[in-house]
Amino acid sequence: MSTDNNVKRLLANYEAQTFSALSELQRKLIAAMDQRDTLGDIHQIGKIAKGYKQTNKSSNETLALLSGVTSNTISTMTSDPTNSKVSTVLALLDIMGMTLTISRKSADE
């Protein structure tokens, strides 16, 4: 067999293995993304915080101490989060073991 044919064969094998590995990685990433729980949009933060407080037997004061903001800020944010600072939302989510995810709107939004 000529050197060119050997190189072509090796390249074809490499491409097939690379494609297979990338396909497996893509499958794993999609599975991992499907495992994440989406609890709602920014308007749900009050319900999420309320559920967290009930589960962990805590109060706005506890959340405030842990997050570094005032209990009044926690109260305002949970009732109307649309005017909250992103840093405040992130601080609250962090103590609840959550994160902020940004995604595209669906066609019906």
Residues 9-21 pLDDT 10s: 988 888 888 888 7
Residues 40 and 22: their CA atoms lie apart, in Å, by: 31
DSSP alpha helix (H) spans, the chain: 3-35, 45-56, 60-67, 71-79, 86-95
Tens of pLDDT, residue by residue over 6-56, are 888 988 888 888 888 778 877 776 666 665 666 678 888 888 899 999 999
pTM of the model: 0.60
Instruction: Choose among 54, 107, 49: nearest CA to 79.
Output: 49
Tokens of 100: 């902020």
d(CA 84, CA 32): 30
Structure tokens given for 91: 């601080």
Domain boundaries, the chain: 1-36, 42-95
Taking domain 42-95, whether its CATH number is 3.30.1490.20 is answered by no
